[in-house]
Structure formats: structure tokens, C-alpha cells
Structure 1
Amino acid sequence: MGADTPWEPQIDDIVRDSETNRIGRVMDRFGVRYSLRPLKGGCEWEARPGDLHPVTMSDLLSTAVAELNQRSSKGVL
């Protein structure tokens, strides 16, 4: 990808949806919308291309910490 070529998510890419602040795997593309699924499975959701961004290590760590905090608050570790 060249410096002037915009990034475009591909099937199986892991992306951050800035509209919902969720991380998911790109499952498919329908017209101008992408279908995403949570990394650990679950219900898919749709996202606009402009809301999708490549995932950073920081994004993945933040998600993992949030999940652990949620589990800890329920007494499940």
C-alpha cells in the first residue's frame, strides 16, 4: 500500500470500530458497510468504513484489561 493509498479493511482483519468503541474481526462487506464479529464470538454488527481503524497493541491490551476488570467485579477470575 502506497503512502497516498487509503487503508481499506480486508476480510479477517482485526479492526477498531470508533463509532461503537469495539474491536472485531471483519467477516464480510456489503456495499459500503462492513460486518464485524467480536473476537471471542457473538453477534455481528455493521460498521461504516470511515469508523474502522487498524488495531494497535494498545487497543488489544485495553480490551483485555476491560474484560478482566468486568470479570473481576463479578468475582469470576
Structure 2
Amino acid sequence: MNSAPAVGALVLDTAKDQIGEYRGEWAGEWSLRPVDGGKEWTADPEHIQLATLEQRLRAGTAHANARSRGEVL
């Protein structure tokens, strides 16, 4: 992916095969936050693509489940 997505956009980190919420850029790396809670990670923008509709729906369900367990707000 050449340009940064909007903050809050859901993206796929192909290196980790994990969906994350784009949080910003620092020193050439992109900061991503897991939608179902957990530790943020950095990723090389070359390994990022926008999440598909199916991936966004799954991420939304994972977030709702984590929220119901009290793991995220």
C-alpha cells in the first residue's frame, strides 16, 4: 500500500495475517491496533492492504465479542 489509510481504517497485515486498525505512522512503520484487544504492533507499509468487506465484518464480530467479555471498551 503506497499511501497511508485514514486513522481508524481496518487493514490486513499480510506478514502476520492479522487485521488491525490503522493508528498512524512512526519512523516509516505503521502502527496497528488489534480490533479484539491486545498490544499494538508496527508493520511495514509494504505488507499492508485494506481489509475486505468479509474481513471487516469478522473484525467487527471479534470486537463485539471482546467487548462483551470486558476486554475492550
User: What SS class does the counterpart of residue 55 from structure 2 fall into?
Assistant: helix
Under a length normalisation based on structure 1, what TM-score does the superposition of the two structures give?
A: 0.64
1:9, 1:52 within 8 Å by CA — same for their partners in 2? Answer: no
Letter in 2 for 1:38: P
Relative contact order, higher structure (CA 8 A, sep 6+): 2
Under a length normalisation based on structure 2, what TM-score does the superposition of the two structures give?
A: 0.67
Paired residue for 2:13? 17
How many residues align? The count is 61
Instruction: Determine if the alignment matches structure 1 residue 58 to structure 2 residue 58.
Output: no
Q: Deviations over 1:9-48 (max 9, x none)?
A: 2211110000000000011210210110100221001101
Where does structure 2 lack aligned partners over 5 or more consecutive residues?
63-73
Which structure would you say has the larger Rg? Answer: 1
Between the aligned partners of 1:7 and 1:41, the Cα distance in structure 2 is: 25
Moved over 4 A (4+): 61-64
**Percent of paired sites with the same residue:** 28
**RMSD between superposed Cα atoms in Å:** 2.2
